[in-house]
């Protein structure tokens, strides 16, 4: 009789222990999901920081979206606000994307970390395109995308930047340079770096598509020969 009682008590203890572990596991999963949702929201809020609009208002009392190309981005900031303000906007917008991706380090490392990084980067770009702080009227996300790519793969980002500079020097058209740089990103990942992550390659292709979509008006102006060119200053050589 006593052995049976002892055996039953042991089974009951095992069942209770298993139930406790199951409850703890469910709580842990729920906790991680909640943290991930909050990080996605935070990444969006970081991306929504409308530096170009605010700097335009602070320095010159103008809404950048009502001047130049009407775009709330670094290129229009250079055009309307000047070199120093444009450089500041470029750096801050790039930092948004970089910082958003790095939020992943607030989570335990796992096999899904890469996907989480991509999601955070996407949310920061979404915030730049539709910033909550300034009426959801943002820019095209090129600088923020650059920050995301730097955080994900600095080597490919550097080569894409080189493509941008090469096209800018040859065409003097920022939109063409931006699209060329974005389209080159999957190429560098696949053929130069032999990137093993299929998810990252798919994301790079999505970036290229997104850049084309956000530049659809520029493409129309290019077809009609109406796209603006930037003036590249050159030093004069005295005879």
pLDDT in tens, 148-158: 999 999 999 99
pLDDT tens per residue, range 66-122: 998 888 989 899 989 999 999 999 999 999 999 999 999 998 888 788 999 999 999
Residue 100's SS3 state is helix
Task: Give, for 3, the enclosing helix (H) or strand (E).
Answer: helix 2-47
Residue 112's SS3 state is coil
Q: How far apart are alpha carbons 68 and 91 in whole angstroms?
A: 20
What lies within 8 Å, CB to CB, of 94 at 6+ separation is 143, 144, 146, 147, 150
Domain assignment present for residue 117? The answer is yes
Q: How far apart are alpha carbons 6 and 10 in whole angstroms?
A: 6
Confidence of residue 19 (pLDDT cuts 50, 70, 90): low
Confidence of residue 185 (pLDDT cuts 50, 70, 90): very high
Domain assignment present for residue 1? The answer is no
Domain assignment present for residue 231? The answer is no
Domain assignment present for residue 87? The answer is yes
Domain assignment present for residue 219? The answer is yes
What is the count of structural domains for the chain?
1
* 206 touches 221 (CB < 8 A): no
Mean pLDDT across the chain: 87
How many alpha carbons fall within 13 Å on the CB side of residue 226? 8
Confidence of residue 9 (pLDDT cuts 50, 70, 90): low
Residue 68's SS3 state is coil
Domain assignment present for residue 9? The answer is no
Q: Which of 106, 97, 113 is nearest to 154 (CA)?
A: 97
Domain assignment present for residue 106? The answer is yes
The DSSP letter of residue 192 is I
Find the domain containing 107 and state its range. 22-223
Domain assignment present for residue 13? The answer is no
């Amino acid at each position: 009789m006593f052995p049976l009682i002892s055996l039953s008590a042991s089974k009951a203890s095992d069942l209770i222990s298993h139930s406790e572990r199951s409850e703890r596991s469910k709580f842990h999963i729920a906790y991680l999901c909640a943290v991930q949702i909050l990080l996605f929201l935070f990444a969006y809020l970081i991306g929504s920081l409308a530096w170009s609009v605010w700097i335009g208002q602070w320095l010159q009392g103008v809404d950048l979206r009502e001047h130049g190309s009407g775009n709330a981005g670094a290129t229009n900031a250079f055009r309307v606000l000047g070199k120093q303000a444009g450089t500041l906007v470029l750096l801050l917008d790039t930092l948004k994307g970089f910082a958003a991706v790095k939020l992943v380090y607030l989570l335990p490392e796992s096999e899904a970390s890469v996907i989480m990084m991509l999601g955070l980067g996407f949310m920061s770009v979404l915030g730049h395109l539709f910033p909550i702080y300034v009426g959801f009227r943002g820019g095209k996300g090129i600088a923020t995308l650059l920050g995301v790519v730097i955080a994900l793969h600095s080597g490919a980002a550097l080569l894409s930047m080189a493509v941008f500079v090469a096209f800018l020097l040859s065409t003097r058209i920022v939109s063409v340079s931006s699209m060329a740089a974005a389209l080159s990103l999957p190429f560098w990942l696949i053929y130069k770096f032999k990137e093993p992550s299929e998810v990252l390659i798919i994301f790079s292709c999505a970036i290229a598509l997104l850049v084309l979509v956000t530049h659809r008006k520029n493409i129309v102006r290019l077809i009609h020969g109406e796209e603006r060119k930037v003036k590249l200053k050159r030093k004069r050589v005295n005879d």
